[in-house]
Amino acid sequence: MSHTHRPIRVVVWGENRHEQEQPEVAAIYPNGMHQTIREGIEENLGSGATVTTVTLDDPEHGLTENVLENTDVLVWWGHAAHSEVSDEVVERVHRHVLAGMGLLVLHSGHWSKIFGKLMGTSCTLRWRSEQDRELVWTVDPTHPIAQGVPHPFIIPQQEMYGEFFDVPAPDELVFLSTFSGGEVFRSGMTYKRGFGKIFFFSPGDQDYPVYHQKEVRKVIANGVEWALTVRPERTDPVLLRYETEDFYVGHDYRGAMAN
């Protein structure tokens, strides 16, 4: 069913560890970063999206087969506990992305298992944790994710991320960030993997109120809309054999010796 017939079904996945263990983070995000991100999406998309949240400590990290089957776009924030995410769940999410589920990876999710699996690289970068000012510059003003976003917009309190960022060249570069130390970073990039769309957006360290900022919330909501893949049904890409002049009916391919 296409987006024109129903709201986008969004799940925000949050690690939810800093908020429980660090009072200074809980003061900024008393209900968890995942809830603040959810509120930003709802604020911008209204009835155009139904947004739920799950966390690392939920059974199967909240990402059961049933949940993912009923998710159009998954938003991912993780930082301190990447290693605790089970490989089985990562494989499940990966399969759904290839079959057409959208994925937004935020900030330190660059080092998550799922992002690394989709990128095929180390996804490492340079960083500096003390408070810095980030300017987010739009480098593709025609892109749907950039619509309604000021150019540039300023994040007054943020962690520094800088190049080199070890990821494949993106399909599209939407945002570029600069910092007070002269560092630059590709802060908003898109990819396609299989039938799925992926948007990486770097602002959002847990120590600062970044996800309360209206411009950041707008970008994430735009990313959710962009990441929706409209297909009649979600299916995995499949290798099929077609007879000459038979353009529509493929046959299962079991291997060269079996066919």
Give dist(CA 190, CA 235) in Å, integer.
21
Nearest 10 degrees: Cα torsion 97, 100, 104, 105: 20
Residue 254: per-residue pLDDT: 63
Percent of the chain with pLDDT over 90: 63
Quick: pLDDT tens for 6-46.
899 999 999 887 887 778 888 999 999 899 999 999 999 99
pLDDT class of 259 with cuts at 50, 70, 90: very low
Tell me the pTM: 0.90
Residue 11: per-residue pLDDT: 98
Residue 6: per-residue pLDDT: 87
Q: Give SS3 for 38.
A: helix
Give dist(CA 120, CA 102) in Å, integer.
18
Give dist(CA 144, CA 107) in Å, integer.
20
Residue 251: per-residue pLDDT: 81
234 has pLDDT over 50: yes
pLDDT class of 256 with cuts at 50, 70, 90: low
Q: In what order do the strands lie in the sheet with 153-162?
A: 49-55, 8-14, 73-77, 102-106, 196-201, 184-193, 172-179, 126-138, 153-162
Quick: pLDDT tens for 85-144.
899 999 999 999 999 999 999 998 888 999 999 999 998 999 888 888 999 999 999 999
Asked if 79 contacts 15 with a C-beta cutoff of 8 angstroms, the reply is yes
Nearest 10 degrees: Cα torsion 233, 237, 243, 247: 40
Domains defined for the chain, CATH in brackets: 3-122+185-252 (3.40.50.880)
Quick: pLDDT tens for 37-90.
999 999 999 999 999 999 988 788 989 999 999 999 999 988 887 788 899 999
Residues 6+ apart with CB under 8 A from 176: 136, 137, 139, 184, 185, 186, 187, 188
The tokens for 9 are 């079904």
Asked if 159 contacts 120 with a C-beta cutoff of 8 angstroms, the reply is no
List the one residue out of 205, 211, 224 whose CA is nearest residue 147. Answer: 224
Residue 1: per-residue pLDDT: 35
What is the DSSP track for 62-117?
A: G--HHHHHT-SEEEEE-SS-GGGS-HHHHHHHHHHHHHT-EEEEEGGGGGSHHHHH
Residue 93: per-residue pLDDT: 97
What DSSP character marks residue 208? S
Q: Rank 3-7, 136-140, 180-184 by mean pLDDT and report only the highest.
A: 136-140
Asked if 193 contacts 117 with a C-beta cutoff of 8 angstroms, the reply is no
Q: Give SS3 for 164.
A: coil
pLDDT class of 258 with cuts at 50, 70, 90: low
